[in-house]
Homo-oligomer: A and B are copies of this chain.
Amino acid sequence: MAAEETSKLCELGEAYPMKGGDGPKNYANNSTYQRGAVDVVKHVINMAIEEKLDIDNLMLSNSNTTFRIADLGCSVGPNTFSSIDTIIEAVQSKYQTQGPRPSSSQIPGFQVFFNDHTSNDFNVLFKSLPDQNRRRYYAAGVPGSFYGRIFPRASIHFVHSSYALQWLSRVPKEVVDKDSPAWNKGRIHYLNSTEEVARAYRAQHAEDMECFLDARAQEVVCGGLMVLIIPGHQLQGSPNDSHSFLNVTYRLLGSSLMDMAKKGVVSEEKVDSFNIPIYHMSPQELEAAVEQNGSFSIEGMEHLPQVPKLDTVAQNAQLIASHSRAVTEELFKQQFGDELILDELFDLYRKKLEAQPSIFEFMGTTTFLAVLKRKAN
Contact = CB atoms under 8 A, between A and B. Distances in A.
Interface stretch (A106-114, A188-196, A256-264, A279-287): A106-114
Contacts of A64: 153-155
Interface in A113-137: 113, 118, 121-123, 126-127, 129, 132
Given A64-B153, A141-B143, A118 B127 contact: yes
Interface stretch (A144-152, A288-296, A337-345): A144-152
Nearest to A219: B138
Given A64-B154, A139-B142, A153-B66, A118 B111 contact: no
A18 interface: no
A87 to B, nearest CB: 16
A140 interface: yes
A142 B142 CA distance: 9
Q: Which of A66, A127, A141, A142 has the most CB of B within 10 A?
A: A141
A122 B199 CA distance: 39
B111 A152 contact: yes
Contacts of A141: 122, 126, 140-143
B138 A140 contact: no
Interface residues of A, number: 29
Nearest to A67: B152
B143 A111 contact: no
A142 B140 contact: yes
A224 to B, nearest CB: 13
A149 B144 CA distance: 26
A221 to B, nearest CB: 8
A98 to B, nearest CB: 22
Nearest to A60: B60
Contacts of A123: 121-123
Contacts of A144: 132, 139
A69 to B, nearest CB: 12
A126 B143 contact: yes
B155 A111 contact: yes
Contact of A129 (B110, B121, B143, B153): B143
A159 to B, nearest CB: 15
A222 to B, nearest CB: 10
A127 B144 CA distance: 10
A282 to B, nearest CB: 31
Of A66, A126, A154, most B-chain CB atoms within 10 Å: A126
